Chains A and B, each alone.
Chain A
Amino acid sequence: MAASTRDTDVEPTRTRRSASHTRLWGWLLLPPAAWMMAFFVSSIIIVVLLSFGHVGPTGRPVFGASGANYAALWNETYLSVFLRSVVYASLTVLLCLLIGYPVAYTIALHGGRYKNALVAALVIPFFASYLIRMYAWSTLLSDEGLVNQALRWFGLSEGVRFLNTPGAVVAGLTYGFVIFMVLPVYASLERMDLALIEAGKDLYHGPLRTFFAVTLPATRAGVLGGVLLVLLPALGDFVSAQLLGGPSTFMIGNLIQQQFFESQNQPLGSALTVVLMIALLVFMVFYLRSTDRQRRES
């Protein structure tokens, strides 16, 4: 009887290197690892240690072992700053997603010949000074700035107060970080098999349904990456609130900066920094978990 065939197994990927080889590469790890230990890990440790210290009589920070700084943070004002920061950052992420996804989608799927040029056009503004762009926004949006002048000229409105509002802060953050959403989503759309979209339509899903049932899930990794890349800087930013914010738009970043450069209370600033790090760690763990699960499934 003819030899039977079975489904060939998916071939396992493997790395094949001899031991001596590995040792050689191991030495290469030494300088960068030493550098990171000396300048990054140790500095984070100092922040954590100092967060348990206090300000000495001469105004210098002193190490200690008291939780007073953390206790001080547990009051309504600081909590509301945290809450506000999280809300602003979340809104920013949402806006970046709502704006960034369609843009990435259009460039990736309908960019055609101009695709590379469009990506370049996307990146260029982000290499022009962040501060200057933010400042340009503040002049553009001011009550007698160009935007309001244009509105008045078209007779659309008697002037809108854009600047110095929570909306302006979130808009500034969105403007600043939307590229971190567009690029990973674009990359994942580029990697996606376009036949998937056709398969969705083939199976009786209209364009919109296909998008939600097929395209979006297929680019989940890019979206998650974008969310993380936007959330991290948005939560730590202090420039947008400073340049575009109003009296009640203080964020964690402003608070930390205030403690270090205005009040000169470094231990309290360190405690704030630690809390911020912990908050971000929670998001990171969540992200790693979900990507890890994806990887394990493959």
Chain B
Amino acid sequence: MTTLDAAAASSATPSATTPVAPAPARRRRRSVEGRPRIAVAFTALFFVVLYLPIVVVVLFSFNSRKSLSSFESFSTRWYVQFFNDDALLSSLRASLVISGVAMVGSLILGTMLALALERVSSRPSRILGTTALVPLVTPEIVTGVAALLLFTGLGIKLSLMTVIIAEITFSISYVAVIVRGRLSAMSDDVEEAARDLGCTPFQAVRLVILPAILPALVASGLLVFALVFDDFVLAFFTTGVDPQPLPVRIYSQIRLSISPAINAVGTCMMLVSILLIAFSLVVPRLFGRRDSGLDLISGG
């Protein structure tokens, strides 16, 4: 016989010996019954319009003529041209270098900033910290103009380096905001638990905090990479004699006469970004989080 304690019958009492599934967490219903057809139709239309130019880019990248308004027949000549165009390729390379270096640099500085902002409460440091977030709300043209004047004013030659510096300055804030969101969602207790278990403050950061914010680092790193890779305005103002970043090159072509090879470039860029996004969705899963990098990007 048994002593039935409240509802031993209702659910297998989580006894210690039998492993139980996670307690049925109180689910929040996240949808409303009944779908308003108009809203769904509107959203569908929105996605059609959103993807229309992209479809055009992909389509015309396979056009056999130079025309961008009438499709003649299928051909891969623009891809061939793209992969034989040294200037385009070197721009692509330059963009990859800029994005990569800016990503690493802004990850390091932005994570430092996020940690400090989350932990330091003194007034001057908070003001400093807030200043670092201003680029987030400054139009790029202002940042670009300011960077150009700063570099030429100091007599610094414009080069890939200046582009990278400007891009890092602009990206730090993104990293800081995303990483900080993760940090503040993390209980202080975790860090104290590490100290309690014999970690010095530094070890606590290395062994506990960094692993815990890794998904945020991955997400913000990918976001920064993608943003910098596509950034035109800052690069336009700060680029020098080195091979121009891809967007700047595209811009100088657009202003004169565009070659459909650009559509091939665009198609390739989009493929890469889809891969990046898929990656950022998958990576947090690898670390077993239910939240994805996308939630972080979308601020969810």
Contact = CB atoms under 8 A, between A and B. Distances in A.
A166 interface: no
A199 interface: no
Interface stretch (A20-28, A71-79, A153-161, A289-297): A20-28
Nearest to A105: B39
A43 B141 contact: no
A173 interface: no
B56 A136 contact: yes
B299 A273 contact: no
Contacts of B194: none
B226 interface: yes
B129 A29 contact: yes
Interface string B196-224: 00000100000000000000000000000
A197 interface: yes
Contact of A269 (B49, B145, B232, B294): B145
B233 to A, nearest CB: 8
Interface residues of A, number: 91
Contacts of B165: 39
Given A35-B109, A39-B147, A103-B42, A125 B116 contact: no
27 contacts: A21-B119, A22-B122, A26-B116, A29-B116, A29-B125, A31-B109, A32-B176, A33-B128, A36-B135, A36-B172, A39-B166, A40-B132, A40-B135, A105-B39, A125-B50, A127-B226, A127-B270, A129-B247, A130-B230, A133-B53, A149-B69, A187-B300, A235-B139, A236-B140, A237-B141, A270-B149, A276-B142
B89 interface: no
Contacts of B109: 31-32, 35
A139 B159 CA distance: 33
Given A32-B132, A187-B299, A236 B139 contact: yes
Contacts of B10: none
Interface string A232-268: 1101111100110000000001001100100000100
B166 A130 contact: no
B142 A277 contact: yes
Contacts of A239: 232, 251
A2 interface: no
Nearest to B117: A29
A224 interface: no
A204 B144 CA distance: 53
B120 A26 contact: yes
A100 B147 CA distance: 33
B150 interface: yes
Given A32-B112, A109-B32, A112-B31, A183 B57 contact: no
Contacts of B56: 136, 139-140, 146
Interface in B151-182: 153, 165-166, 168-169, 172, 176
Contact of B150 (A29, A46, A111, A228): A46
A109 B201 CA distance: 43
Q: Which 7 A-B pairs have the closest CB atoms?
A: A236-B139, A136-B53, A127-B273, A43-B150, A43-B146, A29-B116, A25-B119
A136 B131 CA distance: 37
Interface in B65-124: 68-70, 109-110, 112-113, 115-117, 119-122
A209 to B, nearest CB: 14
Contacts of A213: none
Contacts of B110: 32
Contacts of A42: 150
A68 to B, nearest CB: 18
Contacts of A136: 53-54, 56-57, 266
B120 A25 contact: yes
Contact of A183 (B53, B138, B299): B299
Contacts of A107: 43
B277 interface: yes
Interface string A127-156: 111111101110110101110010000000
B239 interface: no
A266 B116 contact: no
Contacts of A119: 294, 298
A123 B298 contact: yes
B35 interface: yes
A276 to B, nearest CB: 6
Contacts of B150: 39, 42-43, 46
A275 to B, nearest CB: 11
A106 interface: yes
Contacts of A36: 128, 131-132, 135, 169, 172
Interface in A191-210: 194, 197, 207
A125 B277 CA distance: 11
Nearest to B41: A106
Contacts of A125: 50-51, 54, 270
Contacts of A140: 52-53, 56
A135 B232 CA distance: 14
